A and B are shown apart, each in its own frame.
Chain A
Amino acid sequence: MSTPAIPSLPTPNHRRLVGRLLLVVALSFGFGFALVPLYDAFCVVTGLNGKTAGAAKGIGIGGIQQQVAAAPSPIDKGRIVTVEFIGTVMPGLPWDMQPLISKLDLHPGELQQAMYRVHNRSDQPIVGQAIPSVSPGLAAQYFHKLDCFCFAQQTLAPGETKDLPLTFIVKPEIDRDIRTITLAYAFFKAADSKSATKRVATR
C-alpha cells in the first residue's frame, strides 16, 4: 500500500465528546457517594433498615413512668407478639454477651424490660457500644425503647460482669401480620483502653 491519505480527524469533536463522557464518569462516581446520605435519609423516612430510633422524645432516663402516664398506649390484649433477643460480640472485643431471657411474649402496648448479661474476659477495662437492629425491618418504627444500654457507651472493668437493662414498648399500631420481632445487638469495641481506664477510675 502506498502512503495513505490520512483522513483529517474531527479533533474538536473528539475533545468535546470525551469531555462529556468524562463528565458522565465523574457524575456517576459522585452519585455513588451521594447515595450514602440519600440512603440514610430514605431509611429514616421509611424506617426500612431495622434501625430503631433513639430514646423516646422528651424524656430522659427516669422519666419513663411520666411518659407512659402522659401518653398511655392502649394495651392490645387481643394478641401476643413474641420478642426474641440476640446478642453478638464483634471481633476485637473480648466480651461475652447473652440475653437473660431469650424471648418474651407480650401484648402490644405493654411496658417491658429485658436484660443482657455482659462479661469482660480480658484484664483491661474496655468501652463497648451496642448497636441494635430489629427484624423484620418494618417493625423497627413500632419498637420503642424508653431506656437502653445502647443509648450510651458501656464500660466494663477487667473481669467485670454486668447486667444491662432495656425498657421498651411494642406499639399497638404494629401490623397484625408481625407476630415475632427479633431484636439483635452487636457489641463493638468503642474506645482504646486508656480512656476506658480513666472512666473506670472515675465512676
Chain B
Amino acid sequence: MYTADTAAHHDHAHGAPRGIMRWLTSTNHKDIGTLYLWFSLFMFFFAGALAMLIRAELFQPGLQLFQPAVFNQLTTMHGLIMIFGAIMPSLVGFANWQVPLMIGASDMAFPRLNNWSFWLLPAAGLLLIATFFVPGGAIAGGWTMYPPLYIQGGVAYDMSILAIHILGISSIMGAINIIVTILNLRAPGMTLMKMPLFVWTWLITAFLLVAVMPVLACAITMLLTDRHFGTHFFDAAGGGDAVMFQHLFWFFGHPEVYIMILPAFGIVSTIIPTFARKPLFGYVSMVYAVASIAFLSFIVWAHHMFTTGMPVGGQLFFMYTTMLIAIPTGVKVFNWVATLWRGSITFETPMLFALAFVFLFTIGGFSGLVLSLVPVDIQLQDTYYVVAHFHYVLFSGSAMAIMGGIYYWLPKWTGHMYDETLGKIHFWLTAIAFNITFFPMHFLGLAGMPRRIPDYALQFADFNMISSLGGFLLGASQLLFLYTVIKCVRGGAPAGNKPWDGADTLEWTQTSPPPYHSFVTPPQIKLVRGRSHANAR
C-alpha cells in the first residue's frame, strides 16, 4: 500500500499541480503544512473574535451585550476552538513543513494519510462553528466538557462530541505519521541525538498525542452513551460519578497542555541559537528535559481537581509531582538564557518573539507553580488568576512562539522576506497589549473574581476595563499580523537560501522556497551534534 504511494511520486516530480485540486488532493508535506497553517490562522481569528465579544461584555459590570447563556457559549467555544482549532493544527502545520526538511526526508512517511489528517479538520471546524446556529445554541458548559451539564445540553453537545472525535482521529493519524517519519526517514548520519531540537520536541509530542488522545475519545464516548444510550458512567442516577469524568478528562488534559507547549519549546530552541549566533547551550539536557516533562505530565493530572474532595495524601502527591515539573522547565529556561550569554545577538522579529516567550512563559510557569500549592489553589480555583496563568503559557507561550516561528520560516516557505518594520510593530503591539490584557487578571483573581461570569462585582470594574482595552488592542494587532503574512506571501525582497546567517539546520541548504520535492536524495550529514551541517546534493 505504501510502496504504491512512493511509486506514484513519479507522476508529479516536476512541480505542484494547479488549481483547487492541488490542495484537495495534495500529498505533499509542504502543501499540507500550508493548509494546516491557514486553517489554524482562520480558527485563531474566529476564536479571537469570540474573545473580543467576551471582553466587550466584561468591559463594564452589568449585562451589556449578552445574556449569561450566550456568554457561556462564547467562553466555551473560545477555549475549545483556540486549543483544538488554532494552537494544535498550527503546530502540526509546522511539523509538516519543517520535520521532513530538518531531517533530510523527501516527504512525510504516509503522504495520503497526511492529506486525510488535514481534510478532517475543516469538517470538524465547520461542525463546531455550526453549533452556534442550532436550537439551544453552542455548547456552554466550559471547554472541559464536565458532566452533568454536558449530559443535559442540546444537539450542539452531540455535534461537539463528533467534532472532537474527528479532531482526535486527525491528531492521532498526524502523530503516527510524524513518529514514523522521524524514526524511519532521517537522512543517513543523522542519529537521534543529532536531530534539531524542534524535531525532538515533536517526536515526544507525537508520543503524547498517541497516548492521551484515545483517552479523551474514550471519555467523550462515555458522555455520548450517557446522553443517548442509557449508560450511567457519569450520571449519579445510575450509580455513576461525575468526578470520574474529571479524572479521565485531565488524564488527557494535562499531557494536552504539554502537547501545546513542547513544539513551541522546539521553535524557540531553534530561533534563539540562530540570532545569538551560538549553538544551543546544553542540547542533551534539553532533550532529557523535554522527555521528563512529558513523563511527569502523566502523573500530575489531579492538580486540576484539588477542590473535588481529595485526601491530604493525594493532594500532597499531586502537589509535589506538579512542582517537580519546574525542574526540567527551569533547565530549559536556563539553557535558553545561557545560549544568549556572550552571543552576537540581533533582534529580528522572530528573535523578539522568542525572547518574549522566554520571559512571559516563565511568568506563566511561576503562576503555575503558585497554583500547584494546594492551600493557595483552593483559594484561587476557578478565579481569574487561573485565566491569567493559562493565557501566559498558552498565548505568550504557545501562540507567540508560533508567531515567531512563522516570521522565522516565512522567508524559507515563500522565498520572500517579510516586512521587518511591520513585523516589529506587530511584535511590540502584541507583547504590550498582551500584558495589558492578562496581567491585571492576576490581581482580579487574587481579589476573588470568578471566571466564566458575564457580570461581576463593582470592585473589579477598573481592572476589567483595562483588560478589555488591552484585549481590543491585542485583537486589532493580529490583523497587522495577517496583513504582514499576506504581504510576504505575495512578494517582497528575495530571501535567498539562508537569510539568517546564524541558522544551521538542513532546511537552509535548500532554495527559498524549497523545491516542491526536496531531498529526493538524502543529504550527507556532517556529524555535529544538534547542528546538522549538511551538504545537500
Contacts and interface: CB of A to CB of B under 8 A. Distances in A.
B244 interface: yes
A35 B247 contact: yes
Contacts of B179: 17, 21
B6 interface: yes
Interface of B: 2-3, 6-7, 9-10, 13-14, 106, 109-110, 152, 172, 175-176, 179-180, 183-185, 210-215, 217-219, 222, 233, 236-237, 239, 241, 243-244, 247-248, 251, 309-311, 515, 517, 520-522
A158 B196 CA distance: 73
B368 to A, nearest CB: 25
A39 B106 contact: no
A5 B219 CA distance: 47
B169 to A, nearest CB: 10
A1 interface: yes
A69 to B, nearest CB: 33
A21 B2 contact: no
Nearest to B212: A28
B237 A186 contact: yes
B168 to A, nearest CB: 10
B214 A25 contact: yes
B212 A48 contact: no
Nearest to B184: A13
Given A7-B522, A48-B309, A14 B109 contact: yes
Contact of A14 (B10, B184, B520): B184
B218 A29 contact: yes
A78 interface: no
A9 B233 contact: no
Given A1-B515, A49-B243, A138-B309, A188 B214 contact: no
A28 B13 CA distance: 39
B215 A186 contact: no
Interface in A13-67: 13-15, 17-18, 21-22, 24-26, 28-29, 31-33, 35-36, 39-40, 43, 46, 48-51
A117 B241 CA distance: 26
B414 to A, nearest CB: 20
A29 B217 contact: yes
B207 to A, nearest CB: 8
Interface of A: 1, 3-7, 9-11, 13-15, 17-18, 21-22, 24-26, 28-29, 31-33, 35-36, 39-40, 43, 46, 48-51, 90-91, 129, 131, 133, 135-138, 186, 188-190
A139 B215 CA distance: 31
B233 A36 contact: yes
Contacts of B311: 46, 48, 138
Contacts of B222: 33, 36
A4 B520 contact: yes
Contacts, number: 120
B237 A28 contact: no
Nearest to B13: A4
A39 B244 CA distance: 7
A28 B207 CA distance: 12
Given A4-B517, A32-B214, A186 B247 contact: no
Contacts of B215: 28-29, 31-32
A11 B237 contact: no
B309 A50 contact: yes
Contact of B520 (A1, A15, A36, A46): A1
Contacts of B213: 25
A24 to B, nearest CB: 5
B109 A25 contact: no
B410 to A, nearest CB: 24
A137 B243 CA distance: 12
A10 B184 contact: yes
Nearest to A2: B13
A48 B6 contact: no
A7 B180 contact: no
Of listed A7, A26, A133, residue having the most chain B CB within 10 A: A7
